Structure 1
Amino acid sequence: MEANLLTPATPIVPAFPATYQRGLQRIALPYLNRTIMVAVDEIMCLEGEGNYTFIFTRDRKRFLVSKTLKEFEKLLDDLLFVRIHKSYMVNLAYVEFGASTKDRIIRLTDGREVTISRRRMKDIASLLNGYMQRTIN
């Protein structure tokens, strides 16, 4: 783990559809007695932990916010963010599409692996295929 801190971080490159306009939407996060603004397209994934949510960004920052994952599910764009598990939402722009979903695992561009819920597997697979088609065209 210490080796990761010493090596330079490789840049994380998202794959947005051509029609998506980046940098237009920001959300305010209450964090450490202040409010910070985060661009929605910089958010890689969200991990729910009870009444709290960890937000992981493209620049490898992690924010703990006292909102539930369900609140973020209502707030964020459902064409870009998908709830793949009761505890996880991912930004489709940061999903590695070369990885197989047969093992019910999605790999993100930063190397993180997230398990897909069995119940949502078919829906997630079709959403991933549709998103991949939009990014290619």
Structure 2
Amino acid sequence: MDANLLSLNQTTPVVPSFPASYQRGIQRIALPYLNRTIMVSVDDIMYLEGEGNYTFIFTRDRKRFLVSKTLKEFEKMLNEIVFIRIHKSYMVNLAYVQFGVLNKDRVIRLTDGREVTISRRRMKEITSLLNTYIQSTMN
């Protein structure tokens, strides 16, 4: 019985699916954190949440970093093939999106179970971008 409890408490690893043309491990971002600067690989960022002049960065190892940059600044900096702005306050890494889980509630589910809302106005455009991304990962 203890073995069953242990297997239920363990979280499944979050595995991204990048397109073949995307070169992983090249870009890193320097983030100020606890009086020092840490380097975070762009490939480990699952999504970003903007809040005014600040942005929360959520990584695949469930860490959250607060940065004093706007989401618009990150939108210019990050690769548009992998990162898309799906809402005024959200930007997601397509490698961590569970495809086929896009529902009528305008919510994208990420591979770790988190859900992020899609803008009503950009729904068609985002659906098209998601389909294009799926095709690029299949090739």
**Fold shared by both chains (TM-score > 0.5):** yes
User: Equivalents in 1 of 2:133, 2:103: separation in Å?
Assistant: 15
**Partners of 1:45 and 1:89 within 8 A in 2:** yes
What CA RMSD, in Å, does the superposition of the two structures yield over aligned residues? 1.3
Structure 1, residues 43-95: CA drift from partner, whole Å, max 9, x if none? 00000111111100011111111111111111101111000001000000000
Q: Secondary structure at the match of 1:23?
A: coil
Hey, what does 1:3 align to over in structure 2? none
Structure 1, residues 85-128: CA drift from partner, whole Å, max 9, x if none? 01000000000002134331110001111110011111100000
Structure 1, residues 9-33: CA drift from partner, whole Å, max 9, x if none? 2100101112222111111112222
Residue 49 in structure 1 maps to residue 51 in structure 2? yes
Amino acid across the alignment from 1:24: I
Hey, what does 2:19 align to over in structure 1? 17
Cα displacement (A) at 1:35: 1.1
User: Equivalents in 1 of 2:129, 2:103: separation in Å?
Assistant: 12
Hey, what does 2:31 align to over in structure 1? 29
Amino acid across the alignment from 1:36: I
User: Equivalents in 2 of 1:82, 1:10: separation in Å?
Assistant: 25
User: Equivalents in 2 of 1:56, 1:100: separation in Å?
Assistant: 20
User: Equivalents in 1 of 2:21, 2:62: separation in Å?
Assistant: 26
Structure 2 spans left out of the alignment, 5+ residues: 1-7
Structure 1 spans left out of the alignment, 5+ residues: 1-5
Hey, what does 1:100 align to over in structure 2? 102
Hey, what does 1:123 align to over in structure 2? 125
User: Equivalents in 2 of 1:74, 1:35: separation in Å?
Assistant: 21
TM-score for the superposition, normalised by structure 1? 0.91
Amino acid across the alignment from 1:106: I
**Partners of 1:101 and 1:125 within 8 A in 2:** no
Runs of 4 or more consecutive aligned structure 1 residues displaced over 6 Å after TM superposition: none
Larger C-alpha radius of gyration, 1 or 2?
A: 2
TM-score for the superposition, normalised by structure 2? 0.90
